[in-house]
Amino acid sequence: EVQLLESGGGLVQPGGSLRLSCAASGFSFTTYDMSWVRQAPGKGLEWVSTISFSGDRTYYAYSVKGRFTVSRDNSENTVYLQMNSLTAEDTAFYHCAARTYTIGWYFEYWGQGTLVTVSS
Amino acid sequence: QSALTQPASVSGSPGQSITISCTGTSSDVGVYNSVSWYQQHPGEAPKLIIYGVSNRPSGVSHRFSGSKSGNTASLTISGLQAEDEADYYCSSYTITTSLFGGGTKLTVL
């Protein structure tokens, strides 16, 4: 059974930092790009970042570039998102998603998400 | 790049068909065949239902179908069932980003 289990969310003050983790199992983690997609409560999906299967390429949404860093440990089947200089606009559920290519690129597997709340 | 444009809501009666549109630009939807669709029920993770514009993953009902014309992709759900009531999101790949639509809430009357 495929599982993506996010952790590390919580309440943080504006300007603070948080590190999210996503532990993967049940699929060939090292052959998938991994992404973070966030969803503000009651709102739509917003792509945040993607890291290539090998970890040598990373991509970021304009809204988080320079503040967030994505990384992965293929020996632990885990992807991370280091979030710095957080603002209220970063408050959201953060889902990790496994991206692959067969006919086009798509997010094949999703986690339930971890909630990040930025508030004083 | 801006998000893709979807209608905020659609509705239909059981047994009917509905179509959700997803409009992008010639830099995303119009140029890549990497349009995918996701279904999300309240409190759950998004679920892939269409990839590569018109392909269904194993286990997804044949009542879901996708298409694309120019810069607009579409998701059609035929034979509506109560369990189809959910939020639906389209997504398009670009070389450096991924884009999502704002989401469409489907109500089954």
pLDDT category at A31 given cuts 50, 70, 90 is very high
Of the candidates A31, A65, A62, A35, the residue with the CA atom closest to the CA atom of residue A49: A35
* CA closest to B49 among chain A residues: A108
Residue B2 pLDDT: 67
Residue B96 pLDDT: 86
| Mean pLDDT of the residues in chain B | 96
Residue B30 pLDDT: 94
Does residue B9 belong to the interface with chain A, where contact is any CB pair within 8 Å? no
**C-alpha radius of gyration, chain A, whole number:** 14
Cβ contact B38–A35 (<8 Å): no
Cβ contact A45–B93 (<8 Å): no
Residues of A in Cβ contact (< 8 Å) with B35: 104
pLDDT category at B3 given cuts 50, 70, 90 is confident
Nearest to B46 among A45, A59, A104 (CB): A45
Nearest to B93 among A105, A111, A112 (CB): A105
* CA closest to A95 among chain B residues: B45
| Mean pLDDT of the residues in chain A | 97
- CB-CB neighbours of B63 under 10 Å: 14
Q: Is the distance from CB of A50 to CB of A62 less than 8 angstroms?
A: no
Q: Round to the nearest angstrom and report the end-to-end CA distance of chain A.
A: 39
Mean pLDDT score, B20-48 = 96
Cβ contact A108–B33 (<8 Å): no
Antiparallel, parallel or unpaired: β A104-110 and B86-93: unpaired
| Surface of A (3-42) touching B: CB under 8 A | 35, 37
CB pairs under 8 A between A and B: 78
Rounded distance, CA A50 to CA A60, Å?
A: 7
Give me the residues paired with residue B14 across strands. none
Nearest to B48 among A37, A47, A106 (CB): A106
Residue B50 pLDDT: 98
**pLDDT tens digits along A84-106:** 999 999 999 999 999 999 999 99
Q: Using alpha carbons, list the distances in angstroms from residue A45 to A74, A76, A92, A96, A97.
A: 26, 27, 10, 12, 12
Mean pLDDT score, B5-23 = 97
Q: Is the distance from CB of B47 to CB of B61 less than 8 angstroms?
A: no
**pLDDT tens digits along A49-97:** 999 999 999 999 999 999 999 999 999 999 999 999 999 999 999 999 9
Residues of B in Cβ contact (< 8 Å) with A108: 48, 51, 57
Mean pLDDT score, B83-109 = 96
